[in-house]
């Protein structure tokens, strides 16, 4: 069955994206680099949304979340936020969803230890790619040195992404499998 993009999808993409950005901006209690980088404990949201509701939903949550976060935290840089950071954070919601959703229904994913562990692996891979691209962008703009940004952003994003996603997917996929979410999936 071919998925269609509907107004309902778009509304939920905006809601998930803004919620992601708000959580990133205001619920990061552990400062890694004062005033600049916090442990992004909700870094897993785009990947979880992507796996549960489809890769486009995951990408939208990451992209809109990144832009919302940058605007709310005062770190919005048009070229970086819109072209690199937004797209690469969206990628962390898209790639795990593509790789895990092909494994079956939400119930099959929740019942498969392999799918759960693979979600963490694909989050690790997408997180590494994202952090390298974002660090290169920040370095090219003269904001941070590449290796410095790579180290701190890696801790900030990759750890919560790779650890949090499998846990939430396991919990949420089983519960959502009992509900018809097909009109939200894209």
From first to last of its 186 residues, what are the pLDDT tens digits of the chain?
A: 456 788 888 999 999 999 999 999 898 878 888 777 888 999 999 999 999 999 999 999 999 999 999 999 888 999 999 999 999 999 999 999 999 988 788 889 989 999 999 999 999 999 999 999 999 999 999 999 999 999 999 999 999 999 999 999 999 988 888 887 766 676
What are the backbone dihedrals phi and psi of residue 32, each rounded to the nearest 5 degrees, phi first? -95, -45
Q: What is the spatial distance between Cα 141 and Cα 139, in angstroms, rounded to a whole number?
A: 5
Hunting for tokens 């701190």 — which residue is that?
152
Query: What residue segments make up the domains of the chain, in order of their start?
Result: 7-174
What architecture is the 7-174 domain classified under in CATH? Orthogonal Bundle (1.10)
- Alpha-carbon distances, residue 40 vs 113, 114, 152, 178, 182 (angstroms): 26, 26, 11, 30, 30
């Amino acid at each position: 069955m071919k998925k269609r993009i509907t107004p309902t999808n778009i509304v939920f993409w905006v809601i998930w994206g803004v919620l992601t950005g708000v959580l990133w901006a205001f619920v990061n209690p552990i400062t890694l680099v004062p005033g600049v980088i916090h442990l992004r404990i909700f870094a897993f949201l785009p990947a979880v949304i992507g796996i549960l509701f489809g890769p486009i939903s995951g990408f939208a949550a990451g992209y809109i979340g990144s832009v919302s976060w940058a605007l709310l935290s005062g770190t919005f840089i048009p070229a970086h936020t819109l072209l690199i950071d937004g797209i690469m954070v969206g990628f962390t919601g898209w790639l795990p969803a593509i790789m895990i959703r092909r494994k079956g229904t939400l119930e099959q994913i929740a019942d498969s230890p392999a799918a759960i562990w693979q979600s963490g692996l694909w989050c690790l891979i997408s997180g590494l790619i994202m952090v390298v691209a974002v660090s290169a962008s920040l370095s090219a703009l003269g904001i941070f040195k590449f290796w410095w940004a790579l180290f701190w952003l890696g801790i900030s994003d990759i750890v919560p992404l790779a650890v949090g996603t499998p846990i939430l997917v396991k919990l949420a996929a089983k519960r959502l499998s009992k509900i018809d979410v097909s009109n939200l999936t894209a």
